Every structure is written in structure tokens, then in C-alpha cells.
Amino acid sequence: MGFSSALQSRAAHEALIVRQDAELRLMETMKRSIQMKAKCDKEYAISLTAVAQQGLKIDRADEMQGSLISKSWRSYMDELDHQAKQFKFNAEQLEVVCDKFTHLSQDKRKARKAYQEEHAKIAARLNHLTDEVVRKKSEYQKHLEGYKALRTRFEENYIKAPSRSGRKLDDVRDKYQKACRKLHLTHNEYVLSITEAIEVEKDFRNVLLPGLLEHQQSVQESFILLWRNILQEAAQYGDLTADKYKEIQKRIDTVIGNINPTEEYGEFTEKYKTSPTTPLLFQFDETLIQDIPGKLQSSTLTVDNLTVDWLRNRLQELEGAVRDCQEKQLKMIEHVNGGSPVANGSIISNGSNTSNGIQSNKDSLCRQSKDLNALRCQEKQKQKLVDMIKCALNEVGCEELPSGCDDDLTLEQNFIENGYNNEQQISLSTNRPLYEEEWFHGVLPREEVVRLLNNDGDFLVRETIRNEESQIVLSVCWNGHKHFIVQTTGEGNFRFEGPPFASIQELIMHQYHSELPVTVKSGAILRRPVCRERWELSNDDVVLLERIGRGNFGDVYKAKLKSTKLDVAVKTCRMTLPDEQKRKFLQEGRILKQYDHPNIVKLIGICVQKQPIMIVMELVLGGSLLTYLRKNSNGLTTRQQMGMCRDAAAGMRYLESKNCIHRDLAARNCLVDLEHSVKISDFGMSREEEEYIVSDGMKQIPVKWTAPEALNFGKYTSLCDVWSYGILMWEIFSKGDTPYSGMTNSRARERIDTGYRMPTPKSTPEEMYRLMLQCWAADAESRPHFDEIYNVVDALILRLDNSH
């Protein structure tokens, strides 16, 4: 009988904690007793040594020359001395046993704490969702009462109003529509919270709690196994082999041998055995919608013009959560299959008993299985909500969504829209192409657009690809950010909800000058066009000449600017990449545009008017530093290599002063000009903050260049760049060799964690290798900052120059 099926109740959980406390007290008692025995054995060894020394003090020993009895006595005393040494050795080994008891006790306390925290964590989520269901129901009741009152008031005023218009009727209508929207949103939140609570409670009962208890049983049995091994070791060093001790030793061995980890908790489990927890019942309270005709259905999502945006946003959030769960599961499975699991919190014995290692592996696998089950439960819970929302949205199946309020409001809205269509059109005489308009931002990704629109009424126009079709989008900041697709009529004109126009420019200028909302529902009004930034260049001004490389997002070209005849380097982004990847591509440009330093590659601009998106940078004719080192390995001098190190340190010192973490510093990501000057490049992984915690996994991380704390904990600071700079120095002095040559990434990582550091490359100055080792300090705070690194390298170069 196991923990997972028998100990699910709260009382059993508390009893398990009490049992572990009792075991810790027993462990402490055993430790004190063995310490006292070790002390007694040491004192006896000292006394026995004194006896032997006294016995060897034979006066006039020469007179006993050849005496057998004297020889026997001396041998006897020598054996006594040997026996004293054996006693002392046994006492010292018992002290080692006491240390093992200490470590075992510490590990057991940690395991107890971990179990309590994990139990509290999974229970807290269920409790939180239970409270959430109650809270959502209470909100439902409140908004329902408000909705009923305002509906009655609207109907009274609507009947009384002679022309179905007037300020008072408009005010009542607006309040009623808001109450209607609040009610429908609360309805959906209540339905989703019930659905999520059902899934979480089921997983708590059937997966998470049994998994936690099964893992806890495995951990506790592991402690019992180690406990037994320690007791056996203590007994071994108390065995004196004399007949009168053999019987005692036999009895000790017998009682210790009777310890069986699998039977240790049998009586305890039987005593506190409880039935599995009773399922909690979550269901929709149908009394909430008894007085509402037709619109709201029990346990069914409502999709209309009041709720569709909220549902789409919620769907996006949930789909992101599902993907995150899937990526974490994949990473965990790859970790298990690809190498030995990291023993976080696992029990590792210092002894040589093979069974301990097997048990440790079993504990680790059990823990990983528990964590994987938890992720699968989360994915299943979120996917349930995703499917529910998708099903509701798919059932609508039309562009014109149903109104969220009663039929009278729908009719009135149509009346307003028809009146709006009769307004006079505003013409604008222009033959200029759309891409020449300052407020047209081309294919700038949506995330970049949101960054530019800061105040209500800010707007711009851009192009996007939907279902492999190009569409023009008006983006407006208005109570958040709203994006309107320009509709095309059968006659080739353009419109939103108002009159059609012959060109997009006329349509936009009409909306701007008339100050009418783009759509009645959104209320968004155009107040200030946001023009292209200075660094947004025209695609037509860039002439691509020849491909000179390939990056993560697309090809790299040598190019020429028509306007200035300047030779430049251009990074392109593949047209097929999703918007998220395009946003990451442009991130490098956004970071570089604010930097100006001779050892940082300069940004000239970005091109987003049309596909492909491009980043335009200065052309550094020497190309990649790595390629340069390998091609010129025979001609490089120590002075040139040290100068390259100083240039890189100068650039990184500048970045550190700007709180920029590069995260991918390596020779392949540096450029060198024709005068051997090095420039830092490739800022695709950079972050502008003092500390950056990776949240999207560790894929595509350059393991051999990355600091241990970043690999192990996903935590990046400028001191991680210092570690990478040490690898860069090694690359420079090895003239382009591959770091940790012959080692896989995982093998290099294991060696580094055990203290291994690469040997100095041939002909490297001793001071430069010493600086490399300082950059590779295991403790990040012990590494020098780039300001100190620059000063050290600069001083060494100055000393080298003076010596010549």
C-alpha cells in the first residue's frame, strides 16, 4: 500500500509531517550516542597506548638479551599498541559516521520542507480557483441586478421618447449598453472559471496529489536506505571480534538487518489510511439567467460585439500558455534522454554502496515524472479553455458579429450607420504613391507599431500579410491599440464604416479632418499622424550588390545607398518569418540606433516600406574577426592580438555603461576593419537591462561561450559578457581555434562545472592568460568589469610598446 492512494487526506498529510519530525529527533539521538561512543573509544585508545609504552620501559634491557620471555613481552606490548591504534582508527571512523548523520539530517529537513511547499502550492491553486468561482458568481449577481434595472429604465424611456431620440434617451441607452457588456463579460469569466476549476480539481485528485505523495514515499524510503547504511557502518567500527562481543555484534547486525525500507511505513500507512478525496462539484448556477431571454446560455460562452475582442485576447493568452507548457515538456524530455538528470534536491550518498546510486536515480526519475505530469495537467487545462473559446468563435462564422444588446439597439445602430453613410465625401487631390506618405510605415511589425503609438489619437498606416494576402491596416492608439483593416469595395474604392474613397490617402485624410470615429463601436478618432522615424529608410534607396554572409533571419549583403553612394552592409529578414521573428530581427536595429562608439558597428537605418525588411549598417571591410584570425594566422603579431582585445574591451565597456548585455560575444560576432580595429556586432540576442532572466527557453544558446550561471539559472548580467570576453581573448590568441575542441557542449559544460579551464594558447603573454582566468571565475562577482579589463590590457600594450 502506497502513499499516493492511502494518504490523500489533510489528516494523513499532517501525520506524515509529524512522522518526519519524529524521525529527525531519533536521528539526532543516534548521532549523539555514536559521538559519545567515539569519545570513549578514543580515551580507551589513549590509555591502551600508555599501557604499551609503560610496558616497554624495561630497565637494563641488555641484561635480557636473547630472553624469550622478554621478546614475548615486547611483542605483547607491540600488539597492545597496534590494538590501541585500531581503536583510535575506529573512533575516527565513527566521527565520520556522525558527519554523515548530520548531512542526512540536513537533507531530510530540506526534503520535508520541499514536500510541504509543493503540497501547499498545488493545494493553494485549487483553493484559489474555488474562491475565484465564488467571487465570479458574486460579481455575476451584482452585474445582473444592474443590468435588469437599466434595461427596465431604457425600455421606459424608449417608449416615452416621441422621436426615439434625445439626450436623455442617449444617456440611458449608453448606461444600459455598458451594463449589458459588463454582464456578458462576467458571464464568460464565470463559465471559464468553472471549467478551469473542474479541470484543476480533477488533476489535483488524480494526478498532482498522488504524484507528489508517490515522490514523497520514494524520497522517504531513500532516507531509510541511507539511514540503514550509516547504522551498518557504525556497527562495523564497533566490532572487536572477541567472543563476548561477537554475540552482541550478532544481535546488533540482526536487528539492523531487519530494517526493510519497503516495510518501514506499512504500520504507519495502515494507521492513517483514508479514502481518496471526494470530488468537488463545479456547475453553473442557472438561477442567474432565468430572467434573461435567449442571449445567455448555461455553461456556454456568449460571442457578440460586446465580448468578441475579450474572447480573442483571452484565446491568444491561453494559446501562449499552452505553447509554453509544450516547450517546457519538450525541454524536460530532451534533458532526460540527452544526459544524466541534474540532481536538484536529490539524495546523493558519499558512500560506495551501489544501491544508493540506484535509489538516487530512481528518486530523480520519479521527481521528473511528477514535474512532467504537472506540466501535462496545465497544458490540458488551458487547452480545454482554448477549445471552448475556439468552438464558440467558430460557431459565429461571420464578419458582422451579433449585437450584444436587445433588438431595439441593433435597429438603432443600423439607423446611425445609414445616416453616417449619407455624409458628404471629402476629396483630396494627390497622385503621390502611398509609400511616399510620411505616415505610411510599410511592413513595420505590429509590435513596433504599438511602441510608436503613445497617446490617444496617434495613428499610422502600415501593410500586413494575412492568409498570404497583402492588406493595408490603420493602427490607432485609443483606449489601448486598435488595428483597422482597410476594406476594398467592388468598385475598387476604400472605406471603413463610412463613405468609400478612390484612394487610401483620401480615406485617411477624411477620417483625420472630419474627426469622425473610424468605427462606431471603437470610437477611435484620428488626431495626430505618427511619421516615419529618421532611421526608417526607403527600400528603393538600397541597391543589393552581392551576398557576403548568412544570419539567423536571412542573408547579409554588400549594398550601396543611391542617395549617398555609400557602401553599406545589409541584413535581410526572410519574408516568410512570422511577425514575432521580424520583431526580434528589428530589435538589433532599435538597440544599435542609440549607440555611437568606434568599436561598435554603426547603424545607418532600417527599411520597412516593403518586403524584405532590412537593417542597414556600416560596411566593415575586414569581415568576421573569426575568419580574419584564421586567414591571417601566420602574420598576426602579439601586439596586434592585444590591440584586438583592447578594442573589444573598449566596445564592451561602452555597452556596460549603457546597461546593455550582449549575450553572444564571440569572434564570429565581431568585425575587423583593414587596420585591425575590432568592432562589436550582431546584437540579435542583446538586452538593455542590468539583469535579464531568460523566460523563453535556452534554445540556440552558444554554450561554450556562455557563463555557468546563465546556463544553469538563465540569469544574465554584464558579468556574463565578461566570461564570454575571456573566451573571445582565447579565440584571438589561438588565432581562431574552436574553444573546448573535441568536447561536445554537454561535456564542456560538465568539465567547466568541475573547475576545468582551457589551457593558455601558444605564445600568449602570461598576464593576458591570467586575465582570461579572472574572466572565467566561477563566482560572477569575482570577475573584473570591462572598465578594469580595458585598463589592464591598455597598460600591458603601453608597457609592450615602451619595451620596444
Residue 591 CB-half CA count within 13 A: 24
Averaged pLDDT, 221-233: 91
Q: Backbone dihedral region of 353: left (phi > 0), alpha (psi from -120 to 50 degrees) or beta? A: beta
Question: Given a cut of 50, is residue 140 above it in pLDDT?
Answer: yes
Residue 206 annotated as part of some ligand binding site: no
The class that CATH gives domain 3-58+66-389 is mainly alpha
Lookup: cell for 204: 489535483
The pLDDT of residue 355: 46
Residue 21 annotated as part of some ligand binding site: no
Question: Given a cut of 60, is residue 73 above it in pLDDT?
Answer: yes
- For 440-458, the DSSP string reads B-TT--HHHHHHH--STTE
The rounded distance, in Å, linking the Cα atoms of 588 and 513 is: 37
pLDDT band at 192 (very low <50, low <70, confident <90, very high): very high
Instruction: For 260, list phi and psi in degrees, rounded to 5.
Output: -130, 110
Question: Given a cut of 80, is residue 111 above it in pLDDT?
Answer: yes
716 DSSP β-pair partners: 692
> Are 678 and 652 in contact, with CB atoms under 8 Å apart?
no
Question: Given a cut of 90, is residue 527 above it in pLDDT?
Answer: yes
Which has the higher per-residue pLDDT, 177 or 281? Answer: 177
Residue 554 annotated as part of some ligand binding site: yes
Instruction: For 531, list phi and psi in degrees, rounded to 5.
Output: -80, 165
Q: If 0-12 CB within 10 Å is exposed, 13-18 middle and 19+ buried, where does residue 318 land? A: buried
Residue 555 annotated as part of some ligand binding site: yes
Residue 351 annotated as part of some ligand binding site: no
The rounded distance, in Å, linking the Cα atoms of 16 and 37 is: 32
Residue 432 parent element (H or E):
none
Which has the higher per-residue pLDDT, 70 or 783? Answer: 783
pLDDT tens, 637-666?
Answer: 999 999 999 999 999 999 999 888 988 999
Domain boundaries, the chain: 3-58+66-389, 423-525, 536-618, 625-803
The rounded distance, in Å, linking the Cα atoms of 433 and 13 is: 73
Residue 465 parent element (H or E):
strand 458-466
Q: In what order do the strands lie in the sheet with 458-466?
A: 481-485, 469-477, 458-466, 528-529
pTM of the model: 0.43
The total number of residues written for the chain in this structure: 804
Catalytic option among 41, 458, 664, 682: 664
- Smallest Cα–Cα separation from 721: which of 662, 784, 789, 793? 662
Q: If 0-12 CB within 10 Å is exposed, 13-18 middle and 19+ buried, where does residue 168 land? A: exposed
The rounded distance, in Å, linking the Cα atoms of 662 and 705 is: 12
Residue 553 annotated as part of some ligand binding site: yes
The pLDDT of residue 458: 95
pLDDT tens, 608-636?
Answer: 878 888 999 999 988 899 999 999 988 89
End-to-end CA distance of the chain: give it in Å, rounded. 82
pLDDT tens, 434-444?
Answer: 877 889 888 77
pLDDT band at 66 (very low <50, low <70, confident <90, very high): low
The pLDDT of residue 35: 92
The owner of cell 523566460 is 695
pLDDT tens, 457-504?
Answer: 999 999 887 656 778 999 999 999 999 989 888 788 999 988 999 999
Question: Given a cut of 90, is residue 749 above it in pLDDT?
Answer: yes
Residue 548 annotated as part of some ligand binding site: yes
The rounded distance, in Å, linking the Cα atoms of 152 and 179 is: 12
pLDDT band at 801 (very low <50, low <70, confident <90, very high): confident
Domain 625-803 belongs in CATH node 2.40.10.220: no
Residue 101 annotated as part of some ligand binding site: no
Residue 601 annotated as part of some ligand binding site: no
- For 423-525, CATH number? 3.30.505.10
- Smallest Cα–Cα separation from 728: which of 629, 592, 603, 635? 629
Give yes or no for a cis peptide into 499 (omega within 30° of 0).
Answer: no
The rounded distance, in Å, linking the Cα atoms of 416 and 520 is: 9
The pLDDT of residue 401: 38
The pLDDT of residue 301: 86
The rounded distance, in Å, linking the Cα atoms of 303 and 395 is: 9
Residue 546 parent element (H or E):
strand 542-550
Q: What is the four-CA torsion angle of 414, 416, 422, 426, rounded to 10 degrees?
A: -120
The pLDDT of residue 341: 41
Question: How far apart, in Å, are the Cα atoms of 654 and each of 205, 490, 724?
Answer: 55, 57, 16
Residue 550 annotated as part of some ligand binding site: yes
- Radius of gyration for the alpha carbons in the chain, expressed in angstroms and rounded: 38
Architecture of domain 536-618: 2-Layer Sandwich (3.30)
**Angle CA 652–654–657, to nearest 5:** 110
Type of residue numbered 714: G
The owner of cell 620501559 is 57
Percent of the chain whose predicted confidence (pLDDT) is above 90: 41
Give yes or no: 174 in active site: no
Lookup: cell for 11: 489528516
Which has the higher per-residue pLDDT, 259 or 406? Answer: 259
